[in-house]
């Protein structure tokens, strides 16, 4: 069976307490707490693993302990040609440890495997689990005014409706940034409200003149408590919709990943047509996402003309999505066992026509951009992600492929219909913004081809199988989808009554953030926004705004429609009926 080789090798070095198998390519090994760093390091560096996710879990109701799961994707280090595990041996190995609620401490893996840093910081925020020896113990997820001893993901911590009082903004405690030592450095804040950073995140650039000496960041402004929201409350059909709302751009990948995690746990095989359409949707998502990113990469350098034209093309991909799913952006068609909506032949034909348009026009614009030496100068050599850094931090998606590491979940762990589709993994050496945009462009092209293949190979079967299934409590499984930004990993532990016990959703960008600091260094402020943009960080968008009258303290919530209406006509001022 897959995975056994790794378990054996691990067993030769470290005492394994227990091995459980979740599905064909997923195995979990329980080890002693003190062996944890060595076990993870061994699998990561010696056996060629990448850290896919790490899950902290409050299992006191099950085994009176907290548990940590370090899920490693065993695919080879890929640092040089041939440094890769054979295709049929690639799998996921999870190292599990149990932590006693009395001590709440475990040895940190980060000093050995830097990729763990955010996970271990988050484990403290959410569960109060202290990683001994973690070099960076600052708060990661929770806001700075969050009470100190309240760990929201503990099962007994807090009611999900409960939320601590907010502080006034000027009373917020100051976050401690890693300000470099040395004189004459200016702190340039980028965000949370900044013209080019559409996402609310705060980047602190430490600059000497225009040169970035070092950078630090404070993110999670949009933390919405979704994992808490899902626990013990939602059934699996609802989960799909919730997961899709994790992200405004690549929500669909989350939806599939989440549902497939549940399907994996019960070894449910969905119909081929459903598989194909899931792939089509996710590739359409990749299309528009990459177009968006390439456009933005032009825009942040000031090339509005290219930006406008790329967005014009992106409009076609939205139309395509509408044809396939009925929704322009948020498709909402994934359910346990398959899909909700099928396609007609006419829609397929129309889709193929639009695909053609997208392909030709994207080529035209891309050529124009490539021909502009000024644009190339802005992209080349900027924001270089060193190959070793990428390896150490388990970066994903175009970010790591731009650094010359051939890492693509569709290729490493083919899921669904991908087993039947031929495509090339886009890998570009260089690690700079240009390399990442090039990867995106190549993927854009391959997405078009994948969609075409899917339309061709798509069998005429049902799109859903009868979702009568029974989930076993305490079973868990991992699902993975290559979203436009990289691998999305969802981990679900089943609870009783067909509800989720613990849902861990790890979006692609989560693995890309920690190495950003090293991409910033040595570049200029002008490039900072471009570098962030080339990472293609996940946006969490909202389409509601609140109007507040500061005098009367009254407010009114406007929908997108209201707002647009008012902006266009200047009638029905929202200021009239504040409550």
Q: By rule CB under 8 A, what count of residues binds other proteins?
A: 65
DSSP state of 231: B
Contact window for other proteins (CB under 8 A) among 263-271, 354-362, 519-527, 538-546? 519-527
- Per the CB < 8 A criterion, the answer to whether 525 and 188 are in contact is yes
Locate 81 and state its tokens: 């040609």
Pick 343 or 531: Cβ nearer other proteins: 531
Sole binder of other proteins in the list 1, 17, 150, 193 (CB under 8 A): 193
Our finding on whether 541 is near other proteins (CB under 8 A) is no
From residue 522, how far is each of 207, 377, 418, 446 by CA, in Å?
9, 16, 40, 33
How many angstroms separate the CA atoms of 269 and 272, rounded? Answer: 9
* Smallest distance from other proteins to CB 153, Å: 24
136 binds other proteins (CB under 8 A): yes
Among 102, 156, 168, 181, binds other proteins (CB under 8 A): 181
DSSP assignment letter at 38: H
Q: Which stretch binds other proteins (CB under 8 A): 188-196, 227-235, 439-447, 540-548?
A: 188-196
The interface region with other proteins, picked from 5-13, 373-381, 443-451, 475-483 by CB under 8 A, is: 373-381
Three-state DSSP state, 87: helix
Q: Would you count residue 196 as binding other proteins (CB under 8 A)?
A: yes
**Does 304 participate in binding other proteins (rule CB under 8 A)?**
yes
> Please, are residues 218 and 145 in contact by the beta-carbon 8 Å criterion?
no
Q: How near is the Cβ of 449 to other proteins at its closest, in Å?
A: 28
289, 484 in Cβ contact below 8 A? yes
Toward other proteins, which CB reaches closer, 491 or 520? 520
Cβ count within 10 A of residue 86: 7
Determine, following the binding rule CB under 8 A, whether residue 372 of this chain makes contact with other proteins. yes
Per-residue x/- marks for other proteins, 229-268, CB under 8 A?
----------------------------------------
Element (H, E) at 106: strand 105-107
Residue 397 Cβ vs other proteins, minimum distance, rounded to whole Å: 20
H or E segment at 368? Answer: helix 345-371
Under 8 Å CB-to-CB from 435, ≥6 apart: which residues? 402, 403, 404, 428, 429
When binding is defined by CB under 8 A, the residue of 57, 375, 453, 540 that contacts other proteins is 375
Does position 524 interact with other proteins (CB under 8 A)? The reply is yes
User: For residue 85, what are its two tokens?
Assistant: 């595990």
Cα 531 to its chain centre, rounded Å, is 17
Q: What is the DSSP string of 185-220?
A: -EEEEE-SS-SS--S--EEEEEEETTEEEEEEEE--
Interface with other proteins includes 433 (CB under 8 A)?
no
First vs last Cα of the chain: how many Å apart? Answer: 64
Closest to other proteins by CB, 374 or 472? 374
Residue with smaller CB distance to other proteins, 23 or 313: 313
Give yes or no for residue 189 binding other proteins (CB under 8 A): yes
What are the residues binding other proteins (CB under 8 A)?
A: 110, 114, 117, 135-136, 169-170, 172, 174, 178-196, 200, 202, 206-211, 213-214, 218, 298-305, 308-309, 312, 372, 374-375, 377-378, 392, 518, 521-522, 524-529
């Amino acid at each position: 069976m897959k995975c056994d080789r790794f378990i054996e090798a691990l067993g030769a070095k470290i005492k394994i307490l227990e091995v459980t198998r979740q599905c064909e390519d997923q195995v979990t090994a329980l080890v002693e707490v003190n062996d944890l760093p060595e076990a993870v390091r061994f699998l990561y560096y010696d056996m060629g693993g990448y850290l896919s996710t790490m899950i902290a879990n409050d299992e006191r109701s099950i085994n009176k302990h907290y548990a940590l799961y370090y899920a490693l994707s065993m695919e080879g280090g890929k640092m040089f040609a041939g440094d890769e595990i054979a295709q049929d041996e690639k799998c996921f190995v999870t190292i599990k440890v149990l932590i006693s609620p009395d001590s709440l401490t475990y040895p940190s893996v980060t000093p050995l495997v830097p990729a763990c840093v955010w996970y271990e910081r988050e484990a403290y925020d959410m569960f109060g689990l202290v990683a001994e020896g973690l070099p960076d113990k600052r708060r990661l997820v929770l806001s700075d005014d969050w009470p100190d001893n309240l760990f929201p993901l503990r099962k007994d911590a807090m009611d999900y409706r409960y939320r601590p009082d907010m502080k006034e903004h000027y009373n917020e405690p100051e976050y401690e940034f890693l300000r470099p030592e040395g004189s004459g450095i200016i702190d340039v804040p980028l965000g949370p409200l900044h013209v080019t950073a559409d996402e609310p995140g705060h980047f602190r650039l430490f600059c000497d003149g225009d040169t970035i000496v070092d950078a630090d960041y404070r993110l999670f402004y949009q933390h919405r408590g979704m994992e808490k929201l899902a626990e013990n409350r939602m059934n699996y059909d609802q989960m799909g919709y919730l997961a899709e709302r994790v992200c405004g751009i690549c929500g669909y990948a989350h939806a599939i990943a989440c549902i497939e995690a549940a399907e994996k746990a019960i070894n449910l095989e969905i119909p081929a047509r459903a598989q194909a359409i899931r792939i089509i949707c996710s590739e359409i998502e990749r299309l528009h996402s990459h177009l968006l990113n390439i456009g933005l990469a032009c825009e942040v350098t000031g090339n509005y003309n290219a930006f406008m034209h790329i967005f014009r093309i992106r409009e076609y991909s939205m139309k395509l999505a509408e044809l396939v799913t009925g929704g322009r952006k948020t498709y909402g068609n994934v359910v346990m066992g398959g899909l909700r909506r099928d396609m007609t032949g006419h829609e397929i034909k129309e889709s193929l026509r639009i695909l053609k348009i997208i392909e030709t026009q994207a080529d035209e614009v891309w050529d124009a951009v490539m021909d502009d030496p000024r644009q190339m100068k802005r992209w080349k050599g900027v924001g270089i992600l060193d190959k070793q850094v990428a390896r150490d931090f388990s970066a994903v998606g175009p970010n790591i492929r731009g650094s010359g590491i051939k890492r693509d979940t569709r290729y490493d762990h083919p899921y669904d219909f991908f087993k039947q589709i031929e495509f090339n993994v886009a890998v570009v050496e260089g690690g700079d913004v240009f390399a990442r945009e090039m990867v995106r462009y190549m993927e854009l092209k391959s997405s078009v081809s994948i969609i075409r293949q899917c339309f061709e190979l798509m069998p005429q079967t049902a799109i859903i199988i009868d979702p009568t299934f029974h989930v076993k409590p305490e079973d868990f499984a991992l699902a993975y989808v290559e979203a436009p930004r990289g691998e999305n990993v969802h981990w679900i532990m089943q609870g009783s009554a067909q509800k989720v016990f613990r849902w861990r959703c790890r979006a692609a960008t989560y693995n890309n953030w920690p190495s950003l600091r090293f991409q910033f260094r040595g570049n200029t402020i002008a490039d900072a926004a471009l570098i962030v943009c080339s990472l293609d960080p996940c946006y969490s968008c909202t389409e509601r705004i609140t109007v507040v009258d500061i005098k009367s303290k009254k407010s009114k919530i406007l929908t997108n429609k209201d707002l647009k209406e008012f902006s266009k006509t200047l009638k029905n001022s929202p200021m009239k009926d504040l409550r």
